[in-house]
Each structure stands twice: as C-alpha cells, then as structure tokens.
Amino acid sequence: MDEFLKIWRSPQSDFGLLIEHPDEELDETLTAASVYTDSELAFLSGQGFNAIWVHARLHNLVRHALFPEFGKNSERHVAALRTLAARSAKYGVRVFLYLEPPHSIPVSDTAFWKAHPDTGGQCIEWEGHDGRKYLARSLCTSLPHVRKYIGEAFAALTELLPELGGYVIITASEYPAHCYSCRNCRPGISPNRRNAVPLFPTDCPRCSLREPAEVVSELIRTIRDGVRSISKERKVIFWNWSWTMYVDSPCREILDALPSDVSLMADFERGGRRKDGTYINEYSLSYPGPSEQFLETFETVRKRGIEVFAKLQIGTTHELGAIRSLPLIGNLFLKADFIRKNGLGGFMGCWNFGNLESANVRAFNYFLELKENPSIGEALVSFAEKYFPGCKAITLAEAWLLFGKAMEKYPFSIPFLYNSAVNLALSLLPPPGPLDGKKFGRAWLPDDRGFDLSGSITEEFPLEAVIAAFKSISETWERGLVLMRDALKDSRDKWALRELDNAEICGRVWRSTSLVYSLFALKRAWRDSDRAEYRRLLERQKENMRSVLPYLDRDPRQGYHLEGRFHCFSGDLIRKRLSESTEMEKS
C-alpha cells in the first residue's frame, strides 16, 4: 500500500508572480533547491511531512520541436530539480510538481503568435499579481498538435526526472491556461453556486462547440497518457478545484472519465454549508467540513477504486491570511478525524501561504496518528498535555473550542474574503470626511489602497451585519483568551508564549475589523456631525493598535502575507501610522 502522503511546502520558498512577463530566473523550479536545505528538509520531516510541492511551468521545463520557443533553459530546471529530489530523499521527502498546463501566452509576445498563428484559442484580459492588466491567449487543447505537445512534454519530464514523486495538476484555475480554464460556463444551474469569476462561456471557435467537461477530460487523459508512457508508478494527482464552473457537483461528467490509475485531490470544505446556512466556497478553518460537495465526490470515485486526497489549509486561510495561524484546533481535529477514518491517500495542507510553523501543524499531524477514537475534548486535552507541558490542559482545550465558537459568526463570502479589510485592519487609520471614490483593492496583494470597502459587502452580509459579526467574534474570542492566558500562565516554554501571542494578535485583528468597518459606515454617509463619533472610534482603533505592538515585536513574521509577499501590518508599520495620525491632528 502506498505511504500516506502529507504534502507541504516551506514558507521560505517563493511560488513566483503570475504576471504578463514573469522572470524565469525566479521560477520555483530554479530557486527551490536553494531553499530546501538539509536543515529545512530535516525540520519539515520532523514535523511529520513526507512530500513537498513546487510550482512549475511546463513550457520552461521541456524542449519540444513543435514549440521551439519553450524550454530554452530546461537543462538548468532539470538539474535544479534533480538536486532538490536527491536531497529531499535523504529525509524521506518526495517532490511533487504543481502544474497548470498549458499556461497561456501573452498576446504581447508577438514573435510567438506570428510563428504559431493557428494555435491560439481563448483570449482574455487578466490582472496580474502586480495589478497590471494584459491580454493572454490560450494554447487551444482542442488542436491535436497542442495535445501532442502536452503529452510528449509530460513523457519527457517523467523520463528526465525519475526521482520525482509525481505531479499535482489543476485543470480549472483563476489564471488563464486552456480555453475553459477560468471561464464559468454554467451560470444558474445550481442555486448553491457562488462563483468568484465572471459568468461567460469561451469564444474559442473550436472549444465553444464542445462541452467544457469534455475539454477538461481530454486534457486529463493527455497528461495521464504522457506520464504512463514512461512510468506506471509515478503518481498523477488531478485537483478538482472549480470543476463546478463547468458542471454541477460532484462533476460526474469529469469524474466518470478519470482514468482508474490516477488520483483525485478534492477540496475539503468548498461546496458546504455552515450550521447557519452560510455557503462555503473557499478554504475554511471556521467550518470543519467535509462539505457535501467533498462527500459526493469522494463517494463517486471511491466506488471505482480511485485514490482520493484532501486539499485544505491547516495553518490559516483567507479568513485571516496575514497571521501565523488561526488557532481553531477543535476544527482541525474534526478534519483530521474524517481523513484518518476514511482511508484517504493523504492531503495537501497549504497553498502558497498558511504554512508557517504553528500548533495547527503539529496538532493536525498528531490527530492523524491517533490509534484510538477519542472525543474532540479528549483529543484536544491529549494534544495540550503532549505539546504544552505544564499547562492547564483542560482549560487550554476549552479556549480552543471558544475560538471555534467565535468563528462561527465569520461573514464568509467570496467578496468578503478577497476584498475585506481584515488582513490590514490593524494598520488602518482613515482620515475624517467622505469617501474619495478610491477602492480598497485586493486584500491579499499589495494594491494601492483607498478606503472604499464596498467590494466586500454583500446582500447576505450587509455592512451592519459585518460590524455586528466582528463585534461578536471579538467578544467570544476574548473569553477564549482569558482561558488561554490562565492555561499557559505558568509555562516558560517559548513556543507556548508564541501561540498565546498569536491568539492575542487574532483578537486584536477582530476588534480592529469591527472598528474599521464602523469608520467606513461613517465615511460612506458622511456628515459633519459625525466627527465626534469618528474621533471616538479612531481613538479606540489607536488604542487597539498600540496594544498589539509587544506581540508583533516578539514575532516579526506576524502580519506578513506570504501569497502577496508584503506586510499587511507590523510593529514598524503601526508605529508609522500612529505617528502620521498624530502629525495630521497637529496640523
């Protein structure tokens, strides 16, 4: 039987920017070998992980006669990956490449499109990580010669790198790849659907005549056939992220076409409903899962004997992406308990953020190794006793459960997760007066900021509900903090202190979020008579910002968003904002 795979990645490794003209020198396939040193691999292995994933761009890895523009530095990529795989093997860690084939090519690459005028498919305007919009055109996989390239490229890669553990392949994406990759083609089929992408079909003259499930299934078979032409054992994991853009859950049109010798990775929380009816369409720690969508998918493919992996994020999520971890240990037990009891092949536990060292990581792997079937309370107490020696274990377990209860009120929606002020709330001191029309920007990237937060407000969670939700979260979280402080007060362990500090920072974030949205409410309907209330709220925000400084000074990684590679908040940034506000008041 295959080893249960626990796939992770180092927070030091850089996924790379998805922009119009990325610098190939920064591709993770070239840089990862310098990040995954012996000490880093020993540390990851010691935490319980036995695999890592590395972001790869197929067109940079392999030379091919059909597209001579590709793979000009392939030897360097292959050599770097061989070094990484050989070093990782010493620590029992396998290397998996994460790919989204075929990456689209910018329209601005006129030399490529002049050489291959009949290869292009869907053209789309996209906004890169750098905030710049550009036109990208897909390599149309309905064309036989494009599929020939993809299949033979995977065959070549498999032959060149026998040391690889395998591949994780995404076939629907937020970024342009094949002609249907980021096109939500089936609006309105299900009343449960909540999509973060626009609703429009492809206008590729070939793919538009075909069902998207057919195009995706054909691409899956092409990749599988390429790999299997060289290796029968290499693991090929296909990720079902957003297949619901094409067909309704559980996406049987694609699942039934899966070859029996591949694996499926299914999102653990997406497609579920919280107890209050809130729809979950992103990774979530506030929602234990598994979702109805995951269960339907799992049951469908298990009947065919196809291995299933869970995709989740065990450190943190977009619910609050700029902290070390969301300490919802009780929910992590529930996730791990399902995976352990249901014979999954493993999990991929992070995206390109949410992978800092924390109690979450240790707890999840600890729960997976349990031999008995404890209750949630028993499991939390057992973990607390093992990893926080000298603590009041029962009290600490109660604190974790209160944190989970607090997060049941989180206003979970795609617009809020991606456009809200949560990540940056601790660094925001908006000036008095009405809004100036400038949008807040994307919450996980270093966009130029305005203070118009309307992009995060939805019909399901209007502004008043958001303010009330974070007030409730803050109050319940504080009750948990009272218990956690008591549970760890006699501990001299630096790790225990860091976990307490982390929870304290989360509590300040929730409080600031409520205050920031209250300030936004004033500014949205500004009247001069609001100045007194504005000053009162602003002083409370400043007080909250000052109170978090000792915790940030002890852990500089806090406030840093690993996906956007920028500080949403930090001790220095908060002090700067406070100083600027004082100077503004003097003037």
Please tell me the predicted confidence (pLDDT) of residue 222: 98
In this structure, which topology does domain 5-103+143-388 adopt according to CATH? TIM Barrel (3.20.20)
Asked if the bond preceding 102 is cis, omega within 30° of 0, the reply is: yes
Whole-number pLDDT of residue 201 = 74
Q: What pLDDT does residue 494 have? A: 85
The pLDDT value given to residue 504? 98
Q: Residue 411, preceding bond cis, omega within 30 degrees?
A: no
Mapping DSSP to helix (H, G, I), strand (E, B) and coil, where does residue 237 land? strand
Buried residues in 179-202 as b, exposed as e (16+ CB within 10 A)? bbbbbbbbeeeeeebbeeeeeebb
Identify the pLDDT of residue 429: 96
Q: What is the pLDDT of residue 191?
A: 38
**Which residue from 424, 399, 411, 561 is spatially nearest to 476, judged by alpha carbons?**
399
Distance between CA atoms of residues 568 and 40, nearest Å:
26
Domain locations along the chain:
5-103+143-388, 396-586
Tell me how many helices (H) and strands (E) the chain has.
18, 15
Reduced to 3 states (helix: H, G, I; strand: E, B; else coil), residue 268 is coil
pLDDT below 70 — which residues of the chain?
1, 184-200, 586-587
123/104 Cα distance (integer angstroms): 9
Other Cβ atoms less than 10 A from the Cβ of 248: the count is: 16
CA separation, residue 306 to residues 237, 238, 301, 547 (Å): 10, 11, 6, 51
Here the tokens at position 145 are 């010669």
Confidence (pLDDT) at 583: 77
Query: How many whole angstroms separate alpha carbon 228 and alpha carbon 235?
Result: 10
φ and ψ at 443, to 5 degrees?
-70, -25
**What are 377-389's pLDDT values in tens digits?**
999 999 999 999 9
Pair 4, 345: CB distance under 8 Å:
yes
What is the pTM assigned to this prediction?
0.94
CA-to-CA distance for 39 and 190, rounded, in angstroms?
49
Output the pLDDT for position 205.
92
Q: Is 61 helix (H, G, I), strand (E, B) or coil?
A: helix
